[in-house]
């Protein structure tokens, strides 16, 4: 299946395959994977209006309690934590689009510092000062060793610009040594190669 009137913003390929799964706030949308590089995107982004994420729009008409959301994502949060655990010790970590902040909460025990970026206001109210959360990338500062973005890129209207902005959050030494590295973005090698080429 081809995503109409578009090409992959990453590799320029024009063919997309439908992936299994559903979009929580818009179940009629299809999850698409670029046939060229494997990058995941949505069939449309029109459902995202101003304030959509801030006002819990991604949950549909009945947002779950934060406790329920944390329970629903517990296995994913633990799997992500276990996957990155060997890299987290004494590192500065930024989790972009942290959702209910289950991964951030787990990472606190190992990292030198961990912060989440989440637009949804309820998450900030729930955690208060217990977890370092920001609603804007500019407020998060710089010099992170690891930046994660779990199931976020496909929801962005301009993912390329956001990936570049995320890459600018890395420590200067890390950027100099390895270029822009982002963890947990699916076809990570492809994304890194394209960002480094620019």
Cite the residue boundaries of each domain of the chain with CATH code 3.40.50.150.
50-197
| pLDDT value, residue 114 | 96
The answer for residues whose C-beta is within 8 angstroms of residue 19's C-beta and 6 or more apart is 30, 31, 32, 33, 40
Mean pLDDT of 14-24: 84
Q: Are strands 40-42 and 92-96 parallel, antiparallel or unpaired?
A: unpaired
Indicate the range of 34-43, 58-67, 180-189 predicted with least confidence.
180-189
Which residue from 142, 75, 144 is spatially nearest to 103, judged by alpha carbons? Answer: 75
| pLDDT value, residue 195 | 41
Examine the pLDDT at 181 and tell me if it is beyond 50.
no
What SS3 class is residue 92? Answer: strand
Examine the pLDDT at 20 and tell me if it is beyond 70.
yes
Mean pLDDT of 20-35: 81
Return the structure tokens found at 189.
């090698």
Mean pLDDT of 131-138: 93
In the sheet that holds 16-19, the strands lie side by side as: 16-19, 31-34, 40-42
- Longest pairwise C-alpha distance within the chain: 46
Return the structure tokens found at 101.
């902040």
Indicate the range of 13-22, 55-64, 118-127 predicted with least confidence.
55-64
The answer for residues whose C-beta is within 8 angstroms of residue 75's C-beta and 6 or more apart is none
- Superfamily of segment(s) 50-197: Vaccinia Virus protein VP39 (3.40.50.150)
Look up the pTM and report it.
Answer: 0.76
């Amino acid at each position: 299946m081809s995503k109409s009137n578009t090409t992959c913003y990453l590799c320029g390929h024009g063919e997309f395959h439908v992936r299994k799964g559903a979009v929580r706030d818009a179940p009629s949308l299809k999850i698409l994977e670029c046939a060229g590089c494997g990058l995941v995107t949505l069939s449309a982004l029109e459902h995202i209006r101003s304030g959509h994420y801030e006002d819990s729009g991604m949950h549909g008409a009945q947002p779950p309690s934060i406790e329920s959301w944390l329970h629903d994502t517990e296995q994913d949060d633990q799997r992500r934590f276990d996957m990155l655990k060997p890299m987290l010790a004494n590192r500065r970590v930024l989790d972009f689009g942290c959702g209910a902040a289950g991964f951030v909460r787990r990472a606190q025990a190992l990292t030198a510092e961990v912060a989440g970026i989440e637009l949804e206001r309820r998450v900030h109210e729930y955690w208060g000062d217990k977890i370092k959360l920001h609603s804007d990338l500019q407020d998060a500062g710089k010099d992170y060793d690891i930046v994660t973005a779990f199931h976020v890129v496909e929801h962005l209207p301009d993912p390329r610009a956001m990936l570049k902005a995320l890459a600018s959050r890395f420590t200067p030494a890390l950027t100099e040594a390895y270029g822009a590295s982002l963890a947990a973005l699916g076809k990570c090698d492809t994304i890194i190669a394209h960002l480094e080429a620019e």
